[in-house]
Amino acid sequence: MKDMQEKKRDSQYLYRGRILNLRRDTVELPNGKEAFREVVEHSGAVACLAVKDGRAVFVKQFRSPLNEEILEIPAGRIEKGENPEDTVVRELKEEVGIEAKRLWKLGSIFPTPGYSDEIIHLYLTDDFQSTATDPDEDEFVQAVEIALSDALALVHNGEIKDAKTICALLIYKEKYMREGK
Binders of a copy of itself among residues 36 to 75 (CB under 8 A) are: 36-41, 60-66, 69-70, 72, 75
Q: Does 129 bind a copy of itself (CB under 8 A)?
A: no
Contact positions with a copy of itself (CB under 8 A) in 68-107: 69-70, 72, 75, 77, 107
CB 118 within 8 A of CB 42: yes
Alpha-carbon radius of gyration of the chain: 19
Among residues 83, 88, 98, which one has the least CA distance to residue 46? Answer: 88
* Burial of residue 128, with CB atoms counted within 10 A of its CB: 0-12 exposed, 13-18 middle, 19 or more buried: buried
* 152 vs 170: CA distance, rounded Å: 8
Nearer to a copy of itself, 130 or 142 (CB): 142
The yes or no reply on residue 4 touching a copy of itself (CB under 8 A) is yes
- CB nearer to a copy of itself: pick between 65 and 81: 65
Contact 24, 14 (CB under 8 A): yes
Is the Cβ of residue 128 or residue 160 nearer to a copy of itself in the bound state?
Answer: 160
CB 22 within 8 A of CB 42: no
Least Å from the CB of residue 135 to a copy of itself: 11
Contact track, a copy of itself, 149-178, x by CB under 8 A: ---x--xx-x--xxxx-xx--xx-xxx---
Confirm or reject binding of residue 9 to a copy of itself (CB under 8 A). no
For residue 3, state whether it binds a copy of itself (rule: CB under 8 A): yes
Question: Is residue 24 close enough to count as binding a copy of itself by CB under 8 A?
Answer: yes
Annotated active-site residue 69? The verdict is no
Buried b (16+ CB within 10 A) or exposed e, 2-25: eeeeeeeeeeeeeeeeeeebbeee
Judged by CB under 8 A, the residue of 9, 29, 79, 145 near a copy of itself is: 29
Which one of the listed residues 94, 95, 137, 145 is annotated catalytic?
137
Catalytic residues: 137
